[in-house]
Structure 1
Amino acid sequence: MSHYQGDDAEYMEDEYEMEDVDDDMDEEFRAREMGSDSDIDEYDYLNNKVADTSAADARNGKDIQGIPWERLRITRDVYRQTRLEQYKNYENIPHSGEDSKKDCKITEKGGLYYEFRQNSRSVKSTILHFQLRNLVWATTKHDVYLMSHFSVIHWSSLTCSKADVLDVSGHVAPTEKHPGSLLEGFTQTQVSTLAVKDNLLVAGGFQGELICKHLDRSGVSFCSRTTYDDNAITNAVEIYDSPSGAVHFTASNNDCGVRDFDMEKYQLSKHFRFPWPVNHTSLSPDGKLLTIVGDSPDGMLVDSNSGKTVTSLSGHLDFSFASAWHPNGVTFATGNQDKTCRIWDVRNLSKSLAVLKGNLGAIRSIRYTSDGQYMAMAEPADFVHVYDVKNGYEKEQEIDFFGEISGVSFSPDTEALYIGVWDRTYGSLLEYGRRRNYSYLDSFV
């Protein structure tokens, strides 16, 4: 991945912020301050906060993000077209997005698999590196963990409340003693990636930091630094249960390494090296294969025990930043800066099974539901695509909004889908609920 650090937020603001809308909003608010008596439904002055948008509000015509299009000089359709025309997709290999179009599958739009429930603008999801977008994790249909400035926070959609879980703005040190743990801890960690599963939270940092916290315990359990190289960014973390039942996690790093940590013993158990920086790693459901993608158009499928390459994955035209296995263990997906997500079948890896196309830019995050029915792929901004997997990716639901995407996550029971939106004005957490067909109940009416 590109070795940017301090200027990433500025890069995204300069390139991708909703400048036209923000300018109009500023003018609108200045007019009100000068004595306008227009109704102001954007703000809850009693609680001094921006009002959220509920499903009922959306059904009554309110924009899901609370953008008052009716009061602006630009319509939503015009602004959407402007974004499609002007958004600059980041490419390491020039013209990869344009050149990939010829391989893409034509899909039918209009699917409705997840319905809008709530937009929570009091939850400010943030990003530190523009290429890394795995900063939102749902552990139940009501519980979400995400990065917000310098803290990992917990959001409960049930009580509409948030709480700090891990504040990294100051000094963080382990409260437990384990061999190999850095007892001195870290100061002002810049979190580049995050993973949360069951009761374990792992945050990775720009300097190779790894901070592990059990959610059912106070304090931090374990701290480690993967490398002291200058190019040490932790690009991705995946938590999994080993065949023995022990909890492990893999860390993918810019130093070309993938490291496996045993959280029962709190120690490094495996360390594999590859020819290029590794941006994402995902483990097959049976624990035997690792999908490795990074700063190369080609990915790899490797043996999870030895790290030896089983086969290469050829087809993408740029660097990849996302991967995910279908629960059946037969197919998996990879996301690339060439604006495509490729679906692969382990029984025939000579070519990809399908090539799915984004609208604006790179596919930076991919998630499957635990039942394998749906797959979500997130672009850098504005669009999350949800595909009907069991019907061959022929139809999709296109979730359309405005803002950079910090992460996307299905709840383990598949009932909820959360999307983190990073924007100075309209940053929020979007919640969608799985649409169920209960028509069989009509027979009882």
Structure 2
Amino acid sequence: MRWMMSTMAEVMVKQILMTTSCKVTDITSVHARKGKDIQGIPWERLNITREKYRQTRLEQYKNYENIPSSGEVVDKECKQMEKGGNYYEFRHNTRLVKPTILHFQLRNLVWATSKHDVYLMSNYSVIHWSALSCNLLEVLNFSGHVAPSEKHPGSLLEGFTQTQISTLAVKGNFLVAGGFQGELTCKRLDQRGVSFCTRTTYDDNAITNAVEIYDSLSGGIHFMASNNDCGVREYDMEKFQLMNHFRFPWPVNHTSTSPDSKLITVVGDHLDGLLVDSQNGKTVATLVGHLDYSFASSWHPDGRIFATGNQDKTCRVWDIRKLSSPIAVLKGNLGAVRSIHFSADGQFMAVAEPADFVHIYSTRADFKKRQEIDFFGEISGVSLSPDDESLFIGVWDRTYASLLHYSRRHSYGYFDSYL
């Protein structure tokens, strides 16, 4: 992956909406049912309709590609799956929360630990938002000096200063933030201070592309860091010790571990993905089909199905029993697949493009039916809560930055005032 900072001009069409005055107020499901735009965009006061602006975005948005015309090939060869699914419904748009992105290819910066609790990046800060109390709390600020309060072998006791955070992972009680210079910072959410700081590599191309926290084969909590130096490193989260360091022929952009922790999906700056043995790092299968570099992966909880996301604008779904070709090729609307998450119950798969669209596919319908969530703005991350009751989407935009909250639809209903 090429290290690169992007501006809005590089990835978005010039927005008319930037000059529109907008009172910063939250949008609720009550507002939406009365016809108000979920982002509060006053279309009635603009000289363009939402439908026309959507069409302009689809025509003019420039998808970033490392392999020229990879998206155009997909557009010609693949059809989109049927819309019409209605699995999650809009609940709230929180304008107080301002998600941000530092690297245009890395979008895993939003994590839900419950149906009310969300952690995300906002400039140099990791913040916690409670959808229940509507409180915003700064958890960790990287603009100054951050140093560990615990002593562990290999920890950099001097810590870091002004760390630029490229990726984030939060699960249960643990938070891991990865930086542009290979920094890793670990924190227990129920304790003050930082537990562990380390630098994975001093290579010039050291950026931490992704972090995953998971249950290891031994039963403890581990995390895995994917780096641009072609390395994947596994750490124990109790003693914060390096357990494994696997090396690959190309920069690794994302990894995900199978539910039984025996296999790792590895994707990066190569057309092919890899299925790797988690104990020795040896490749057990090669995934052939994508036309560009991949930046996302995720496992279905059944341990047989997994998915990979690519700059060719597709999410490809694989079955470990037959890896010769994907069982589904799911095409996006305007850009690369930057984030993928399966629901804990395995019924849904959330796929995020770089901007404007999140698709919720039904696994029961063999990925042939989807719900399309449609808005305007770059996506900093998407996260399903552990109980699948909430879906959160971070929207980065100069005017309409916010956190979108969707709730799982059920056959029964609640009044809006109930949580």
Same fold (TM over 0.5): yes
Q: Structure 1 pair 99/14, CA: closer, same or farther in 2 (3 Å)?
A: closer
Q: Structure 1 pair 113/248, CA: closer, same or farther in 2 (3 Å)?
A: same
Given the alignment, which residue of 181, 186, 192 partners 1:218? Answer: 192
- Specify the SS of the correspondent of 1:390: coil
Deviations 1:196-244 (A, max 9, x none): 0000000000000000000000000000100000000000000001133
Q: Structure 1 pair 325/262, CA: closer, same or farther in 2 (3 Å)?
A: same
Q: Where do 1:318-397 residues align within 5 Å? A: 318-397=292-371
- Specify the SS of the correspondent of 2:317: strand
Equivalent AA in structure 2 for residue 172 of structure 1: V
Q: Where do 1:34-113 residues align within 5 Å? A: 42-43=22-23, 50-104=24-78, 106-113=80-87
Deviation at 1:101, TM superposition (A): 3.2
- Find out whether 1:202 has 2:176 as its counterpart: yes
- Find out whether 1:15 has 2:24 as its counterpart: no
- Find out whether 1:285 has 2:259 as its counterpart: yes
Deviations 1:279-312 (A, max 9, x none): 0000000111000000001000010000000011
Deviations 1:244-288 (A, max 9, x none): 321100000000000000112211000000000000000000111
- Find out whether 1:411 has 2:385 as its counterpart: yes
Cα distance in 1 between the residues matched to 2:251 and 2:123: 26
Matching residue of 1:33:
none
Indicate the percent of aligned positions where both proteins have the same amino acid: 71
Deviation at 1:438, TM superposition (A): 3.5
Stretches of structure 1 that go unaligned for 5 or more consecutive residues are 30-41, 44-49, 440-445
Cα distance in 2 between the residues matched to 1:207 and 1:399: 34
- Find out whether 1:166 has 2:140 as its counterpart: yes
Deviation at 1:394, TM superposition (A): 1.3
- Find out whether 1:307 has 2:281 as its counterpart: yes
Matching residue of 2:3:
3
Max Rg structure: 1
Deviation at 1:102, TM superposition (A): 4.8
Deviations 1:123-155 (A, max 9, x none): 000000000000000000000000001100000
Deviations 1:361-420 (A, max 9, x none): 000000010000000000000000000111201110000000000000000000000000
Cα distance in 1 between the residues matched to 2:365 and 2:139: 40
Cα distance in 2 between the residues matched to 1:127 and 1:300: 27
Q: Is the 8 A contact 1:12 1:130 kept in 2?
A: no
Cα distance in 2 between the residues matched to 1:159 and 1:2: 41
Matching residue of 2:291:
317
Given the alignment, which residue of 160, 185, 188 partners 1:186? Answer: 160
Deviation at 1:106, TM superposition (A): 4.1
Q: Is the 8 A contact 2:11 2:63 kept in 1?
A: no
Matching residue of 2:376:
402
Matching residue of 2:94:
120
Matching residue of 2:416:
none
- Specify the SS of the correspondent of 1:250: strand
How many pairs does the alignment contain? Answer: 413
Equivalent AA in structure 2 for residue 12 of structure 1: M
Equivalent AA in structure 2 for residue 157 of structure 1: A
Deviation at 1:175, TM superposition (A): 0.5
Deviation at 1:13, TM superposition (A): 4.3
Q: Structure 1 pair 431/269, CA: closer, same or farther in 2 (3 Å)?
A: same
- Find out whether 1:157 has 2:128 as its counterpart: no
Cα distance in 1 between the residues matched to 2:73 and 2:217: 42
Cα distance in 1 between the residues matched to 2:217 and 2:276: 18
Equivalent AA in structure 2 for residue 15 of structure 1: V
Deviation at 1:21, TM superposition (A): 1.6
- Specify the SS of the correspondent of 2:364: helix
Deviation at 1:19, TM superposition (A): 1.6
Cα distance in 1 between the residues matched to 2:370 and 2:353: 14
Matching residue of 2:228:
254
Q: Is the 8 A contact 1:321 1:364 kept in 2?
A: yes
Q: TM-score, normalised by structure 1?
A: 0.91
Q: Is the 8 A contact 2:13 2:60 kept in 1?
A: no
Deviations 1:156-186 (A, max 9, x none): 0001110000100000000111111100000
Q: Larger % of helix: which?
A: 1
Cα distance in 2 between the residues matched to 1:18 and 1:409: 28
- Specify the SS of the correspondent of 1:227: coil
Cα distance in 2 between the residues matched to 1:250 and 1:14: 31
After superposing the two structures, state which structure 1 stretch, 396-405 or 95-104, moved more: 95-104
Deviations 1:23-42 (A, max 9, x none): 3x1xxx4xxxxxxxxxxxx5
Q: TM-score, normalised by structure 2?
A: 0.97
Q: Is the 8 A contact 1:103 1:355 kept in 2?
A: no
